Amino acid sequence: MKRLRFLLTAFLSALLTVTAVAACNAGGGGGGTTAGNATLIMATSADYPPYEYVDSSSGSQEIVGFDIDIAKYITGELGRELRIDNIDFNGLIPALQSKRADFVMAGMTPTEERKQNVDFSSIYFEAKNTIVAKAGSNLTSAASLNGKTVAVQLGSIQEQAAKEMQGAEVKSLNRISEMIQELKSGRVEALIVEDTVAKGYVESNPDLELNVIPNEGASGSAIAFPKGSELVAQFNPILEEMKTNGTMDELIAKWFGENSPAPTSES
């Protein structure tokens, strides 16, 4: 009788364990990459201040920035937890395609080429490309880069823009910080960087200067999702709400300064 009770108890314990594991897997309590899970995974490349960067000032190595605040606001409105994965920029779209991330925020421009592989939200911020060079170099326009070696971030819209510049020799690197070092050491003569990002680096490197390049073609930042993701329809209304209720303006002022361009509403 005792052996029978023992076997029955063991069977019930095993059954409860299997049920609990199945429930956890179905509910996504530990995070995941489907819209039904409690945790949403955001992939980013945290080398792009003020959009996203690692804050080492407090020793916490926390990823902070404009995109991070937007992501926290949206996921909070949806009642979801947020997990941030930091990877190289050129690995962001593959992370969506392999379902290792639910969405990407990295100051990403929704180009026609990218739209073939991922879906995008509405544009939430407009910025311009700049030429960053050593002060006094007189590299102030796309035409002035003819015959020059220009560094860009691998997989970025700036890489595409630089390759379209006549006579420019393009050097693609993973990180903005690498590009700055290449410029300061003289291994490249200029960088193509978004203006909001370039300003911070130029302010901390007074031997450098920037000049704005007029936008041609696709511009602005949007959130990227896997093809067919139901999150697009959930994120867009909240983005529009942030633009109308003043939240987006507050974040732009916080991260870019009072004179930054206004957010762009979808037409």
Q: pLDDT tens digit string along 54-75? A: 998 877 789 999 999 999 999 9
Is the pLDDT at 6 greater than 60, yes or no? Answer: no
> In the chain, what percentage of residues exceed pLDDT 90?
66
Which pLDDT tens digit goes with each residue over 196-237?
Answer: 889 889 999 999 999 998 766 667 899 999 999 999 999 999
The whole-number pLDDT of residue 85 equals 97
Burial class of residue 178, CB neighbours in 10 A (0-12, 13-18, 19+): middle
Report the C-alpha gap between 36 and 80 in whole angstroms.
Answer: 10
* Confidence (pLDDT) at 24: 35
Average pLDDT, the chain: 84
Domains of the chain: 39-126+220-256 (3.40.190.10), 129-213 (3.40.190.10)
Kindly list the strands in the beta sheet with 47-48, ordered across the sheet, starting from the edge strand earlier in the chain.
47-48, 52-55, 62-64
134 contacts 209 by C-beta, under 8 angstroms:
yes
Q: 78 vs 68, 180, 233, CA distance in Å?
A: 15, 38, 12
3-state secondary structure of 198: helix
Tokens of residue 128, six digits: 């311009």
pLDDT recorded at residue 138: 94
Taking the whole predicted model, whether its pTM rises above 0.85 is answered as no
Q: Residue 51: which of 174, 194, 244 has the closest Cα?
A: 194
User: 261: which residues sit within 8 A by CB, 6+ positions away?
Assistant: 125, 126, 127, 252
Tell me what the mean pLDDT of segment 33-49 comes to. Answer: 85
